Structure 1
Amino acid sequence: MRIHILVLDGVFDLGLAALTDTLDTANQVAGLLAHPPSPVEVALVGVRRRVRTAQGLTVPVVPLHGAVKPDVVLVPALGAKMPDTLAARLAHADMADAAVVLQQWSNAGAVAGAACTGTFVLAESGLLDGQRATTSWWLAPMFRQRYAKVMLDESRMLVNSARFITAGAALAHIDLALSIVRSRSPALAALAARYLLVEARGSQAEFVIPDHLSHADPVVERFEGWARQQLARGFSLEEAAVAVGASKRTLARRLHSVLGKTPLSYFQDLRVERAVQLLRTSSESIDQIATQIGYSDGVTLRVLLRRKLGRGVRELRARI
């Protein structure tokens, strides 16, 4: 398998290293298997001859004219991590060149993957239109506004859709690389993960800070403030609309535009966030906590926690 890593100027150092080191680890431990797959060939390819990382390190890249067609192309994150700096970086001329080469390789049959802010580079090419995808959880509002045709689920750590693979923030680069290894040899992916001390993790939900996301829109921010005061009392769309000064339809539309959620589902997210906080900081039972956030018993809360947190939050599993 031939893998190209498309390296753009200002690439996130950790993301690039996570991809290359995970794939190299898989190559090195493959010989321990009874039936090892052939090694993957990894090349760093650039749309510019001179590429530096976000920390100023020079990256030796193969120019496009010298790169053969890949089986897989991966896009690591950019060093720009916040919406304003990321928007400015996406406006650079090399983005258009990256979009063209991604389209060419994809049309030739290559699988395309990206992690963290690299998902924005892939989305800029238009290849993710109509596809399911994930991205860095705190950039989900920006992603939805820029790429409305992409079906985004930022709660997921990794999303496979057609010939595209997207991964969440920062260390999800490892999950992305392991998914490529897994497509060739599940046994090798499992072995490499053990050497890297990486556990299976399907969700970003436990890392999300809901009120950070709500600040992307004043109506959503007002709703978030109102909702936190109503966790024990319960949800009412009519009361919420009055409290934020918008119609029920406008409130629902703004929540969906920014967060991709209904008012009720976001309200449940806040309940889960509060429940997790109490589980970590108090000795109260889950039934006692459920009462504090508006549930008559712990059954419904347990279901919500398991569904939204998945296999994450290991230290809480015994309590839920």
Structure 2
Amino acid sequence: MQIFVLALDGVFDTGLTVMLDALGLAHKFAASQMGGALTFEVTTVSVRKTVRTAHGLAVPVEPVTSSRRPDWVVVPALSTTTPELLLPALERRDVKEARQLLRMWHAQGAHVSASCIGTFLLAETGLLDGGEATTTWWLGPLFRQRYPKVLLDESRMLVPSGRIVTAGAAMGHLDLALWLIRKASPELAAVVSRYLLADLRSSQAPYIVPNHLAQADPAIQRFERWARDHLKEGFSLDEAANALAMSPRTLQRRCQAVLGKSPLAYFQDLRVERARSLVHGSDLDLDTIAAEVGYADGSTLGTLLRDRLGRGVRDLRADLR
């Protein structure tokens, strides 16, 4: 398997190195355990002769040549973690040249993948239009508004869609690498996972901070403040919209456009976040915590926490021991 890792100036150090390390281990173990029947030939390429990471480290790269077509192309993230840094970076000349390469390779039959903020570069090509994708969770609102033709679900860690795969935030680079290895050999992926003490994660949901998502839009910020003041009460769309001086339909539309979910779903996210905080930071029993966030009993809340976070109350409290 020929894999191109497309590195650009300012690449996120951890994302690049963890992907190269995981794929390198896969190549090593495939050679020693499978007799060369499976290989991972990884080449770090760039549109420039020299590349430096966000921390200023020089990255050895090979120039792109038209004679070589990869089986897979991987786009690691640029270290631009805010809209103020990201949007100008997407207009850089090398980024535009990289977009052309991605379209060319995809047209030639290559599979294309990206993780974290690398998904923005991939979305700029138009290759994600009409398909499903994920991205780094805290920039989900920006992604959704900038690329309305993409079916975004930032709660997922990995989203395959045709010949394209996107992965979530930061350490999603490792999840993506393990997914690529598993596609070729589940047994090999298991060995690499054990060496790296890492497993594939299916969701970003346990890591999402609802308050960060609300910062993307003034109306959502006001809704968040109202919601936090009413967590003990049953949710009413009409009451929320009236308090924000907008129609219920407008509130529904704003939440869907920015957050990709209904006002009720976001209200429930805030309840889960508050409940998890109380589970971690207090000795309150589950029924008392349930009452604090507007649920009738602890059993209902416990089921919700396990469904949303993949962990029960005992597991959450055990994390602090």
Q: TM-score range by the shorter chain?
A: over 0.9
After superposition, give the CA deviation of every residue in 1:241-282 in whole Å (9 maximum; x if it has no partner). 011121111111111111101000000000110111111112
Matched, 1:56 2:56: yes
CA-atom RMSD, angstroms?
2.0
The one-letter code sitting in structure 2 at the alignment partner of 1:308 is R
| Within-5 A mapping of 1:83-232 | 83-232=83-232
1:51 Cα deviation after fit: 1.6
Cα distance between partner residues in 1 of 2:40 and 2:314:
33
Cα distance between partner residues in 2 of 1:24 and 1:160:
23
1:54 Cα deviation after fit: 1.1
Aligned with 2:65: secondary structure? Answer: helix
| Within-5 A mapping of 1:225-304 | 225-304=225-304
1:32 Cα deviation after fit: 6.2
Check the 8 A contact 1:115/1:173 in 2, yes or no. Answer: yes
User: What's 2:16 paired with?
Assistant: 16
Check the 8 A contact 2:305/2:311 in 1, yes or no. Answer: no
1:112 Cα deviation after fit: 0.8
1:90 Cα deviation after fit: 0.5
Check the 8 A contact 1:45/1:67 in 2, yes or no. Answer: no
The one-letter code sitting in structure 2 at the alignment partner of 1:281 is G
User: What's 2:30 paired with?
Assistant: 30
TM-score (norm 1): 0.94
Cα distance between partner residues in 2 of 1:295 and 1:272:
11
Cα distance between partner residues in 2 of 1:72 and 1:172:
17
Check the 8 A contact 1:201/1:312 in 2, yes or no. Answer: no
Check the 8 A contact 2:5/2:75 in 1, yes or no. Answer: yes
The one-letter code sitting in structure 2 at the alignment partner of 1:189 is A
Check the 8 A contact 1:232/1:293 in 2, yes or no. Answer: yes
Cα distance between partner residues in 1 of 2:91 and 2:312:
36
Check the 8 A contact 1:111/1:164 in 2, yes or no. Answer: yes
Check the 8 A contact 2:27/2:41 in 1, yes or no. Answer: no
Check the 8 A contact 1:3/1:73 in 2, yes or no. Answer: yes
Check the 8 A contact 2:279/2:313 in 1, yes or no. Answer: no
1:53 Cα deviation after fit: 1.3
Structure 1 residues 69 and 165: alpha-carbon distance in aligned structure 2, compared to 1, 3 A threshold: same
TM-score (norm 2): 0.94
Check the 8 A contact 1:112/1:164 in 2, yes or no. Answer: yes
Cα distance between partner residues in 2 of 1:232 and 1:251:
21
The one-letter code sitting in structure 1 at the alignment partner of 2:135 is T
1:37 Cα deviation after fit: 4.7
Check the 8 A contact 1:130/1:151 in 2, yes or no. Answer: yes
Aligned with 2:283: secondary structure? Answer: coil
Unmatched tracts of structure 1, length 5 or more: none
Check the 8 A contact 1:136/1:169 in 2, yes or no. Answer: yes
Check the 8 A contact 1:219/1:254 in 2, yes or no. Answer: yes
Cα distance between partner residues in 2 of 1:162 and 1:44:
24
The one-letter code sitting in structure 1 at the alignment partner of 2:316 is L
The one-letter code sitting in structure 1 at the alignment partner of 2:144 is R
Structure 1 residues 56 and 216: alpha-carbon distance in aligned structure 2, compared to 1, 3 A threshold: same
Check the 8 A contact 2:175/2:199 in 1, yes or no. Answer: no
Aligned with 2:88: secondary structure? Answer: helix
Check the 8 A contact 1:206/1:313 in 2, yes or no. Answer: no
The one-letter code sitting in structure 1 at the alignment partner of 2:284 is E
Structure 1 residues 242 and 266: alpha-carbon distance in aligned structure 2, compared to 1, 3 A threshold: same
- Aligned-pair identity in percent equals 54
1:287 Cα deviation after fit: 2.6
The one-letter code sitting in structure 2 at the alignment partner of 1:57 is L
Cα distance between partner residues in 1 of 2:146 and 2:99:
15
1:285 Cα deviation after fit: 2.8
Cα distance between partner residues in 2 of 1:186 and 1:314:
31
After superposition, give the CA deviation of every residue in 1:103-150 in whole Å (9 maximum; x if it has no partner). 111111111111110000110111111111111111111111111111
Structure 1 residues 313 and 95: alpha-carbon distance in aligned structure 2, compared to 1, 3 A threshold: farther
Aligned length: 319
Check the 8 A contact 1:37/1:185 in 2, yes or no. Answer: no
Cα distance between partner residues in 2 of 1:192 and 1:44:
20
Unmatched tracts of structure 2, length 5 or more: none
The one-letter code sitting in structure 1 at the alignment partner of 2:257 is S
Check the 8 A contact 1:52/1:59 in 2, yes or no. Answer: yes
